[in-house]
């Protein structure tokens, strides 16, 4: 009765929330399983950022609900952003739901499941759908548990919510107002992770460079976020620091300089541009210009010439003309992003943009999407080709999905590297000579310590 399967849609924040729920459930005696077929309880942790993401979760819920006909004790729940976005209206369309849990209530899942299971055992009345979508002061501190098993690379939630007003975006509605965890608690969590063998942390927040902005002081011209990075840099055992996502607004000099003085801060930034047209950025209520974005990129490259850049772009937002898109295409190509997520605009009810006409035809969105994807493939391939013949420092994460004896890890620029390895290397940073490249991954061979020096010696004794 207590086997739980959690399926996660959407962003890293959702992955982190799911992991925290899983950990809390384990602590309460539940067992977490790898497939819905083995589970007595299925929880979907959902995304609302585009309609497609919601439709996927709704379709899945419908299919899972059928199981109730043969197995009335089966428990089905929806958590996260879609629960928050659609609210109780979801129960009207999906009356078989047992649980609807909002984005500030993940920590209540164990207790809610306990109640449902008790009612299943005939110990209480069978409740209608249990719904908790309220806001909760302090809930940002509740996403902190990790499992017992080692995570070479771990996500750490540093804040929740967003106070921006991007016209297209549902997130302020689903995640609520911006709230920060205390710096001490975050650093403590990072220390605990390091003690269990974590080597890399990715600090997560809707807009990480806003961290602490409305509550904590600047010190020596450094923002609270930069101060946090400095403190994480001090944690022994942590070798690599990443974060996602910063916002171009407020990407100040101190953060740029952090790339020059914090050796653990990896040379990779995901910096959402959204559009290369100032007119569209204004319509999106994104408070920066393309020129300012370019300036940040130049500053970063001046400090770390090897820095890898990633971005988010929306194509076909309301009123985006061919000329607007041409500007996006030009900046996108010129900047030479190593990685990018390109989205076709999807109207979200409740956002300001939903009141504007979704006037770019779908085939035009498709074409613009493809244009950018082709450019991305070219730049990504060029970067990967440039690695061939060189040696990359790779943090080994585990066995590769395919290939006997193959292992996978990432280089500082966040590129996936595949190479023949061994289980004892997991969690180590090893030198890998890159021998092959493709658009999205590179392959190589371990450089064994002393191997280069040993070669002539062998020749001499042969």
Contacts with ligand 5AD by CB under 6 A lie at 49-50, 168-169, 272, 274, 312, 314, 343, 345-346, 348
Residue 3, classed as helix, strand or coil, is strand
50 vs 179 by CB, closer to ligand 5AD = 50
77 vs 172 by CB, closer to ligand 5AD = 172
375 vs 442 by CB, closer to ligand 5AD = 375
Distance CA 24, CA 30 (A): 9
SS3 readout for 288-309: CCHHHHHHHHHHHHHHCCCCEE
Distance CA 293, CA 370 (A): 23
Q: Work out how close the CB of 166 gets to ligand 5AD at its nearest, in angstroms, rounded to a whole number.
A: 7
Q: Work out how close the CB of 415 gets to ligand 5AD at its nearest, in angstroms, rounded to a whole number.
A: 21
347 vs 431 by CB, closer to ligand 5AD = 347
> Please, are residues 44 and 60 in contact by the beta-carbon 8 Å criterion?
yes
Give the N- to C-terminal CA distance of the chain in Å, as an integer: 66
Q: Work out how close the CB of 324 gets to ligand 5AD at its nearest, in angstroms, rounded to a whole number.
A: 15
Q: Work out how close the CB of 174 gets to ligand 5AD at its nearest, in angstroms, rounded to a whole number.
A: 11
What residues are paired with 392 via a beta bridge?
Answer: 432
Distance CA 282, CA 286 (A): 6
Q: Work out how close the CB of 343 gets to ligand 5AD at its nearest, in angstroms, rounded to a whole number.
A: 3
226 vs 317 by CB, closer to ligand 5AD = 317
Residue 69, classed as helix, strand or coil, is helix
The CA-based dihedral angle spanning residues 241, 242, 246, 252, taken in that order and rounded to the nearest 10 degrees: 40
Q: Work out how close the CB of 366 gets to ligand 5AD at its nearest, in angstroms, rounded to a whole number.
A: 14
The CA-based dihedral angle spanning residues 178, 183, 185, 191, taken in that order and rounded to the nearest 10 degrees: 130
274 vs 384 by CB, closer to ligand 5AD = 274
> Please, are residues 312 and 275 in contact by the beta-carbon 8 Å criterion?
no
Q: Work out how close the CB of 314 gets to ligand 5AD at its nearest, in angstroms, rounded to a whole number.
A: 5
30 vs 345 by CB, closer to ligand 5AD = 345
């Amino acid at each position: 009765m207590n086997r739980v399967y959690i399926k996660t849609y959407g962003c890293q924040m959702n992955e982190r929330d799911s992991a925290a729920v899983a950990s809390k459930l384990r602590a309460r005696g539940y067992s977490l399983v790898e497939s819905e077929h083995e589970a007595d309880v299925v929880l979907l942790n959902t995304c609302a950022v585009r309609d497609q993401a919601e439709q996927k979760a709704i379709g899945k819920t419908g299919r899972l609900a059928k199981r109730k006909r043969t197995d009335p004790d089966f428990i089905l729940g929806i958590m996260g952003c879609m629960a928050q976005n659609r609210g109780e209206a979801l129960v009207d369309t999906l009356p078989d739901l047992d649980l609807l849990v909002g984005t500030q209530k993940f920590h209540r899942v164990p207790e809610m499941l306990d109640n449902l299971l008790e009612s299943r055992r005939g110990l209480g009345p069978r409740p209608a759908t249990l719904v908790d979508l309220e806001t909760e002061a302090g809930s940002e501190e509740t996403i902190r548990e990790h499992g017992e098993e080692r995570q070479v690379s771990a996500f750490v939630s540093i804040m929740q919510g967003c106070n921006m007003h991007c016209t297209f975006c549902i997130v302020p509605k689903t995640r609520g107002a911006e709230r920060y965890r205390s710096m001490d608690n975050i650093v403590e969590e990072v220390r605990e992770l390091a003690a269990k063998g974590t080597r890399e942390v990715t600090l997560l927040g809707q807009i990480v460079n806003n961290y602490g902005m409305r509550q904590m002081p600047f010190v020596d011209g450094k923002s609270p976020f930069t101060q946090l990075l400095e403190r994480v840099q001090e944690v022994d055992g942590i070798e690599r620091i990443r974060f996602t996502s910063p916002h171009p607004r407020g990407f100040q000099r101190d953060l740029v300089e952090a790339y020059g003085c914090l050796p653990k801060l990896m040379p990779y930034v995901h910096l959402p541009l959204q559009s290369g047209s100032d007119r569209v950025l204004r319509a999106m209520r994104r408070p920066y210009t393309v020129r300012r974005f370019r300036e940040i990129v130049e500053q970063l490259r001046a400090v770390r010439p090897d820095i890898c850049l990633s971005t988010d772009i929306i194509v076909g937002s309301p009123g985006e003309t061919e000329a607007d898109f041409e500007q996006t295409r030009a900046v996108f190509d010129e900047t030479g992003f190593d990685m990018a997520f390109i989205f076709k605009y999807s109207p979200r009810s409740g956002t300001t943009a939903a009141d504007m006409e979704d006037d770019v035809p779908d085939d035009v969105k498709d074409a613009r999407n493809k244009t950018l994807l082709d450019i991305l493939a070219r730049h990504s391939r060029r970067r990967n080709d440039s690695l061939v013949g060189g040696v990359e420092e790779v943090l080994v994460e585990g066995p590769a999905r395919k290939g006997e004896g193959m292992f996978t890890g990432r280089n500082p620029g966040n590129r996936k590297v595949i190479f023949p390895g061994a289980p004892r290397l997991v969690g180590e940073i090893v030198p890998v000579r890159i021998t092959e490249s493709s658009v999205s991954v590179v392959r190589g061979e371990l450089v064994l310590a002393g191997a280069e020096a040993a070669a002539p010696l062998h020749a001499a004794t042969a």
